[in-house]
Amino acid sequence: MTLSTLRTCLLACALAACAGCATTPASRAPADEVADANAVDAKADVAATLARNGADAAMAERVKTEFLHAWNGYRQHAWGHDALLPLSNGAHDWYGQSLLMTPVDALDTMLLMGLDAQADEARELIATRLSFDRDLDVKHFEIVIRLLGGLLSGYQMTGDERLLALADDLGTRLLPAFDSPTGLPYVYVNLRTGKTHGTESNPAEAGTLLLEYGTLSRLTGKPVYFEKARRALVETWKRRSEIGLVGERFDVVTGDWTRTDSHIGARIDSYYEYLWKCWKLFGDRDCKAMWDDSIAAANRYLPEEVDGALWYGHADMATGTRTASLYGALDAFMPGLLAYSGDVERARRLQASSFAMWNAHGIEPELWDYRKGEVVSAGYPLRPEIVESAWYLYRATGDTAYSDMGRSMFDDFVRYTRTDSGFAALEGVVTKDKADDMESFVLAETFKYFYLLFAAPGTLDPEEVVLNTEAHPLRPVEEPN
């Protein structure tokens, strides 16, 4: 038996065993049924609390106003380009030619905010000007989460078939990225030729694709999209260590790890997110089994208590030995994921640590040493993750402490990053010096999560819609017969 065949057999056995144990009705104990009933009652109580809380209309309107400030700056100074440069009032295109990153990323936020005129204008720009027939080597992961995700959510929210046609064309052009010996995607793919390059990738870039490709598959009836992305996720999970952790980087040709540091930050973060969310969106029992296996390992080896506070640090993937006491803006997604998956008390404690990191300098750094209480990487590129977690915790608990937290963070966000034409990343959170950069995710994610914290609870229900890692809302689609 070859090593590849052995791995396949082991995976099938492990998933079948795990999924079977989790879902066989005959194996359920009365205590499990009581726990399920209690969970239903708890959700009903939270829903009632959210309904009583209602909207904070003044804050929602304030967030919308600031969003429009950024959008109008883009429209005035960078229309038709990927992004606004908010200090010089110039425009930036990722690859020298525009792929309309900001309009595609911002479309569903405008729709949620009820900004119909702006959304219609952006949608027409996308439908009439966006073309993927370009000789460009693009970053597969970023194009999937931003453009493919945004086109799919835009289609589901408007019914505009032109957006689905663009998504299908893009998906077809991106598929060669998966043609590695392992099924793990190459980092870059040429939109016109399908030529690929970039062999050192990571769990996040390989494992954060199934929501988008899977939705595209179900909307178009083309199973290849789902199959390729699912295989990449499974191949990533298969390479976990004996103690269940994944490392930070691997080679997509050999499948071997090139960096074995394990954590929940950059290059790993959304791998965990999509294990849970693929279960939520598709009801895929294998994803649920992989999630259960993976989050148990992460919760065993990565957390660390420091002066009564809970943090998630770094550990060696093979041994679980602590390697660093680092946590940062990207790690701050984890409280939201924990809350979304039902581990609310752990989520509360970790969010308190994230907020303490934010308050140390009035805005969060990219990386923080929680043992020393020092900034390690001082930049702030306007990231959304801590706001995202506040929203998921608010939805899970109805506790207005999280909307209050959001209000405080929004005050800081506007105070330190607003410019005459938009919002600027910070070179450093200590000095508050601005950088001439406003990523499209600010309009896709950061403003969306701020708005959802204060809008009416019915604006978006995470039990009915699953947000991709770029905060594009995707609705379940029945699998074609």
Give me the tens of pLDDT residue by residue for the chain, a chain 481 residues long: 433 443 444 444 445 444 333 333 334 566 666 667 677 778 899 999 999 999 999 999 999 999 999 999 999 999 999 999 999 999 999 999 999 999 999 999 999 999 999 999 999 999 999 999 999 999 999 999 999 999 999 999 999 999 999 999 999 999 999 999 999 999 999 999 999 999 999 999 999 999 999 999 999 999 999 999 999 999 999 999 999 999 999 999 999 999 999 999 999 999 999 999 999 999 999 999 999 999 999 999 999 999 999 999 999 999 999 999 999 999 999 999 999 999 999 999 999 999 999 999 999 999 999 999 999 999 999 999 999 999 999 999 999 999 999 999 999 999 999 999 999 999 999 999 999 999 999 999 999 999 999 999 999 999 999 999 999 999 999 987 7
CA distance 340 to 463: 9
Please indicate whether residue 142 is annotated as part of the active site: yes
DSSP assigned state of 185: P
Q: Residue 66: what residue type?
A: E
Which candidate in 168, 248, 261, 269 is catalytic?
A: 269
Beta bridge partners of 131: none
Which candidate in 142, 169, 343, 404 is catalytic?
A: 142
pLDDT of residue 39: 73
Task: Give the predicted TM-score (pTM) of the model.
Answer: 0.93
- Can you read off the two tokens belonging to residue 280? 């939520």
Backbone dihedral angles phi then psi of residue 451, each to the nearest 5 degrees: -65, -45
Which candidate in 168, 248, 286, 385 is catalytic?
A: 385
Please indicate whether residue 105 is annotated as part of the active site: no
Which candidate in 66, 261, 292, 366 is catalytic?
A: 366
Shortest CA distance to 142 belongs to which of 80, 208, 193, 88? 208
- Can you read off the two tokens belonging to residue 165? 């046609």
CA distance 27 to 435: 57
CA distance 387 to 394: 10
Please indicate whether residue 269 is annotated as part of the active site: yes
pLDDT of residue 33: 65
CA atoms within 13 A on the CB side of 48: 6
- Can you read off the two tokens belonging to residue 238? 């298969």
Length of the chain equals 481
CA distance 101 to 105: 6
- Can you read off the two tokens belonging to residue 72? 């109008």
